[in-house]
Chains A and B, each alone.
Chain A
Amino acid sequence: MTHQPDAIRVDAISKTYSGKPPVQALHPISFAVGAGEMVVVLGPNGAGKTTLFKILATLLRSDSGEAWVAGLPLTRSREVRAQVGVISDPDRSFFWRLDGRENLRFFAASYGLRGPAFARRLDELVAALNLGEFITRRVGSLSSGQRGRLALARALFHHPTVLLLDEPTRSLDPAAAGDFMRLLGDYLHHHPRASALVSTHRLGAAAPFVRRALVMNHGRLLADGPPEALMQQAGLPAAATRTEALARLYAHYTGAETEYGR
């Protein structure tokens, strides 16, 4: 039996931002995401989610600990970048004067996707993510939902083995957020070796796809597991829906007010 490395392995990484006073954004945390797994990260603003995502995407260096993405240590940053698809700020990360196709052409070139290979992959993603209606329009004229789908197309373009999606539904309305999560779920269903770490505040949109959740607050990892098991561990009463379960967990661990109470 061959050993399959974890898609993501985090071993006691921490991060403090210098300043007066310094801010410890991430206390040492550890977890792993298996190949083919989709894990949702929950937590309020300031929980340390974005810091975690930036470290895993090699945009930020941790102060201590180690992490591996796609079996590679983060010190091999260029190789890691070739293996991951990232969404960090879908609204402001495109060249707004260019259309969607030209934007994708630029970013895809870095992965060696040009000419017929680019055209083939573009056709696949236009069909899979329903981009046809706006791919030739300037990005500046697109709605947030359309830009979100374009960001997903960019993240998926080079067939990444690991997806790091930091609040990809941030500026989407509930229907668009639901669409986005459905498209992501479809992609992962058809690519069983691909893994995803997704942070979101859209519990309703994420609920159908959540098999495992990480709950973070104040830079600490407070809970890690399937929502139902976490509910039991926390002594919470059974929830009627997955959305309610996530909301109750979120409220329990973060002290936040949700529509299902605190």
Chain B
Amino acid sequence: MDVSNWLIMLWAAFRRDVKIALTYRLAFVLRFLSTLFQVAVFYFISKLVTGSPPGLEQYNGNYFAYALVGLAFWRLFGISLSGYAGAITEAQQMGTLEAQALLPTPLPVLIFGANLWPYLYAFGETLTYLLLGLLLGAPMAGANPLAALLIALLASLAISGLGLMGAAMILVFKRGNAVSWVVEAAAGLLAGAYFPPELLPPPLQKLSWLLPHTYALNGLRGALLKGDSWRQLAPAMLALLAFVIVLLPAGVISLRWALGRAQIKGNLAQY
């Protein structure tokens, strides 16, 4: 295991992707504009929400602040869930996957490296969402940003486990990243991204606790909107840590198995 070579290649992949991204300047600007529009949409939707519907009491009935946190972190979680499979598909379509597989650096390291720039970009978007929300009156004065950062990191690692399983599926089935589709759809409905899970029928509320997103969003809202202490946030963090311990190795094992299978079938570059 040559860790220094891995770090060098992670940096090389990051640098490569930044340079490629800089050749798409218009996309940069348009995506930033989409951030503004999305925050504005939820700001005005929040005007429709009056009183304190179930699940919003703890946030003083402030739907805008509630939705803002879901919105801000959704893309970051999306990179963890779909980014690895996306990196593989893109490299297959461009024809660069085999060229990278020929390098002495293990391919999983290069796939991970291909997700670094998207992670940083999504993190920048998260900060932009939060800043815009702050400007529009989202109450974050007593926020616990370090705890929020740790929760976001744990959530990204846990969801990455699922994302690596999705990447393995892409290598095996070529199209149809069922893991990402199912998890993203389920999380969108159940995890409290845009509305409180308390609005769901009780059986569905119980299902929401099977998703790392639920713990992550609860913790993030506690840290950012309520200024919860580390002790108050510990249950969410421990739950996420448990997800990391189970899902991340499962994801790595799945990806390694799928790469070995592609080496036997000779279809690594097929998509």
Contacts from A to B (Cβ < 8 Å): 15, 17-18, 51, 54, 57-61, 78-79, 81-82, 84, 86, 88-89, 91-98, 102, 105-107, 109-112, 114, 138
Contact = CB atoms under 8 A, between A and B. Distances in A.
A46 B135 CA distance: 64
Closest 3 CB pairs of A and B: A92-B95, A93-B99, A110-B103
A54 B15 CA distance: 29
Contacts of A59: 98, 101-102, 263, 266, 268
Contacts of A91: 95
Interface residues of B, number: 28
Given A78-B106, A110-B9, A112-B8, A102 B19 contact: yes
B98 A114 contact: no
Contacts of A96: 94
A102 B15 CA distance: 10
Contacts, number: 83
A111 B104 contact: yes
Contact of A17 (B105, B263, B265): B265
B12 to A, nearest CB: 4
Contacts of A79: 104
B20 A89 contact: no
Given A78-B106, A81-B104, A114-B8, A94 B264 contact: no
B102 A86 contact: yes
Interface string B256-271: 0000000111101000
B265 A93 contact: no
B105 A110 contact: yes
B15 to A, nearest CB: 8
A54 B101 CA distance: 11
A98 B103 contact: no
B266 A94 contact: no
Contacts of A112: 5, 8
A220 to B, nearest CB: 19
A104 to B, nearest CB: 11
Contacts of B60: none
B94 A60 contact: no
B94 A92 contact: yes
Contacts of A89: 95, 98-99
B106 A95 contact: no
Interface in B92-112: 94-96, 98-99, 101-106
A59 B101 CA distance: 7
A94 to B, nearest CB: 7
Contact of A106 (B12, B95, B98): B12
Contacts of A84: 102
B104 A78 contact: yes
A93 B12 CA distance: 17
B16 interface: yes
A109 to B, nearest CB: 4
Contacts of B99: 88-89, 93-94, 107
Given A17-B265, A94-B99, A106 B13 contact: yes
Given A17-B266, A110-B104, 7 more contacts: A61-B264, A92-B95, A93-B96, A93-B98, A98-B16, A110-B103, A112-B8
A8 to B, nearest CB: 16
15 contacts: A57-B102, A59-B102, A81-B102, A84-B102, A88-B99, A88-B102, A96-B94, A97-B24, A98-B19, A98-B23, A102-B16, A106-B13, A107-B99, A110-B103, A112-B5
Contact of A82 (B9, B104, B265): B104
Contact of A18 (B9, B24, B265): B265
Residue of A59, A61, A82, A106 with most chain B CB atoms under a 10 A cut-off:
A106
Interface string B1-41: 00001001101110110011001100000000000000000
B91 to A, nearest CB: 9
Contacts of B8: 109-110, 112, 114
A228 B99 CA distance: 36
Residue of B11, B102, B105 with most chain A CB atoms under a 10 A cut-off:
B102
A60 B106 contact: no
